[in-house]
Amino acid sequence: AKELGANDYYFYNSDLKVRLERKISLTTKLAKALEENDIKVYFQPLIDLKSGKITGAEALARWQTDTSRFIRPDEFIEAAEESGLIGTLGDHVLNKSCENLRKWHDAGFENLTMSVNLSVKQMNDQNLVTKTKNALKKYSLKPTDLVYEITENVAMKDFDATLALFKELSGLGVKISMDDFGTGYSSLAYLKQFPLNSIKIDKVFLQNIPENEKDNNLIKGIVWMAKSLGLNVVAEGVENKFQSEFLREIGCNGCQGYYYSRPLPEDEFFDYLKAVRRD
């Protein structure tokens, strides 16, 4: 191995210090943002491919730092996990999601469901089931109105714990969707063991269709397999008409993506719902 010179050592040291300082400052800012209600919940519609109708929405967190700047979750979910703020963040997202779903149901969109993402720490939270029940009760929602999205990687961290939690949630009636399907390092054997309602095909599989024959076949295979197991299949990252038609033709149930709508702030999403109803 290369020997470290005095300058290299100094460099590594200060680099580490900068990173640590950045992390601490991010945590402090995130705590403040949560207190001051600067973490917004955006909603992106989920579309039924057969009817073209909206079946629900996915709740996506956004951190508003000033009137025009938003930080995406990839940049703060990890910090929230490491600092323990994920509990507060998760409670906020769940509550905002249920509050908005109540509003949509009251406006006549009774069949819409709400999909909420869960991270590792949230899965390990002993109070998750109680928190879920409380939020549903507070907004008079049915357990079947709620879908929890969990990525393969997170679900496979502790198979037995995941299975126990999934059984408890699905026992209540809450639906479970396996997110980022096909990107995790996991065996497919779990598909028959977990009480899943649906799988969500990751957007990486959609990026190169129709040019890439292998990707086309991969998606067809995933849809066929999941449907044979009685699962609902949803594709994410649909950005054009071709992708949406391809997915419909191969029997994919639902989809989501910029082609239909970007994730929207709550007021804009509500307007979008009403506008689509009028069409």
Cβ neighbour number for residue 158 with a 10 Å cutoff: 14
Contact segment (CB under 6 A) with ligand C2E among 13-21, 164-172, 233-241, 271-279 equals 233-241
Q: Do residues 97 and 118 make contact, with C-beta atoms less than 8 angstroms apart?
A: no
Separation between Cα atoms, residue 135 and residue 89, nearest integer Å? 14
Q: Which two tokens stand for residue 222?
A: 């995933």
Using CB under 5 A, count the residues that bind Ca ion: 4
* Site residues (CB under 6 A) for ligand C2E, limited to 72-101: 72-74, 77, 93
61 binds ligand C2E (CB under 6 A): yes
Tokens 């991969």 -> residue: 218
Q: Considering beta carbons, is residue 75 or 110 the nearer one to ligand C2E? A: 75
Candidate list 125, 145, 152, 179; residue touching ligand C2E; CB under 6 A: 179
Mapped onto helix, strand or coil, the DSSP state of residue 179 is strand
Contact segment (CB under 6 A) with ligand C2E among 47-55, 68-76, 164-172, 189-197 equals 68-76
152 binds Ca ion (CB under 5 A): no
Q: Which does 254 bind (CB under 5 to 8 A by kind): Ca ion, ligand C2E, none?
A: none
Q: Considering beta carbons, is residue 180 or 266 the nearer one to Ca ion? A: 180
CB of 207 to ligand C2E, least distance (A): 8
Strand partners, 46: 56
> Which segments within 67-145 are labelled E, that is strand?
70-71, 113-117
Q: Do residues 261 and 241 make contact, with C-beta atoms less than 8 angstroms apart?
A: no
Candidate list 141, 179, 206, 226; residue touching Ca ion; CB under 5 A: 179
145 binds Ca ion (CB under 5 A): no
Tokens 């009403």 -> residue: 274
119 binds ligand C2E (CB under 6 A): yes
180 binds Ca ion (CB under 5 A): yes
Q: Of 155, 45, 151, which Cα lies nearest the Cα of 100?
A: 45
243 binds ligand C2E (CB under 6 A): no
Element (H, E) at 214: helix 213-228
How many Å separate Cα 279 from the centre of its chain?
28
Using CB under 6 A, count the residues that bind ligand C2E: 24
Q: Which does 177 bind (CB under 5 to 8 A by kind): Ca ion, ligand C2E, none?
A: none
Separation between Cα atoms, residue 60 and residue 93, nearest integer Å? 8
Residues in contact with ligand C2E by CB under 6 A are 44, 59-61, 72-74, 77, 93, 117-119, 149, 179-180, 203, 236-239, 256-258, 263
